[in-house]
Amino acid sequence: MQPDPERRAFWHERYAAGAAWSGHVNPVVEETASRLVPGTAVDLGCGEGGDVLWLAEHGWRATGLDAAAPALARGRDEALRRGVADRAEFVETDLGTWDPEPVWDLVTCHYLHEAADLRSAVLAAAVGAVAPGGTLIVVGHHPDEPAHLAGPRGHTRFLAEDLVEAAGLGDGWQVTTRARPRTSVRDGVTVERVDTVLVATAPAR
């Protein structure tokens, strides 16, 4: 797919305005990666790098990919502050044109706020980036989240079954899908949300 300058500019401006997220690890990454032997990991659309930093602190060599330079700069600064700059790398790239090489033991992608065609392309590339026996984690917003919640709508909300179809997981993959309740705090207000979760293990070949 071709890069979209307007989409890239949107995220650049979003992160240039200041820290956008909590900086904490996403719960599914923590609970899944904690059961794995640390190896190499890549986070697609890493933003400010909360997952990358947590993985690096827990023995992984982690790479974060994102198109937003301000977010990546924030991640690099935090890696230096935490003393994990040797294990946490942040790379500016457009996921719409990303060609995965090499492969990683863990590939993660959280809340990819993109149209279905781009999401499918990214997920297909993510599948190809998983090493034999490695793990893929994809998390997004579930369509059944309460309607009153502010946030992404339409093509940014989907079922796990949609993710499986979009990713094109072949024979031999061990796939787990679920809807996961999540509590978040935004502007001092606690809200109950619902995530769509896909965790899949690649065949060992």
C-alpha to C-alpha distances, 199 to 54, 66, 94, 173, nearest whole angstrom: 18, 21, 24, 10
Q: What is the CATH number of the domain that holds 113?
A: 3.40.50.150
Residue 65 has pLDDT above 60, yes or no: yes
Task: Place 193 in a pLDDT band, splitting at 50, 70 and 90.
Answer: confident
- Say what the pLDDT of residue 22 is: 60
Q: By residue range, what is the domain housing residue 43?
A: 5-201
In 142-188, beta strands by DSSP E: 174-186
pLDDT digits (tens, 9 = 90+) for 98-129: 888 789 999 999 988 777 778 888 888 999 99
Helix (H, G, I), strand (E, B) or coil at 165: helix
Residue 29 has pLDDT above 80, yes or no: yes
Task: Place 87 in a pLDDT band, splitting at 50, 70 and 90.
Answer: very high
Instruction: Report how far Cα 3 is from the mean position of its chain's Cα atoms.
Output: 19
The domain tally of the chain equals 1
Task: Place 23 in a pLDDT band, splitting at 50, 70 and 90.
Answer: confident
Most confident of 15-29, 33-47, 180-194: 33-47
Rounded average pLDDT over 42-68? 95
Task: Place 144 in a pLDDT band, splitting at 50, 70 and 90.
Answer: confident
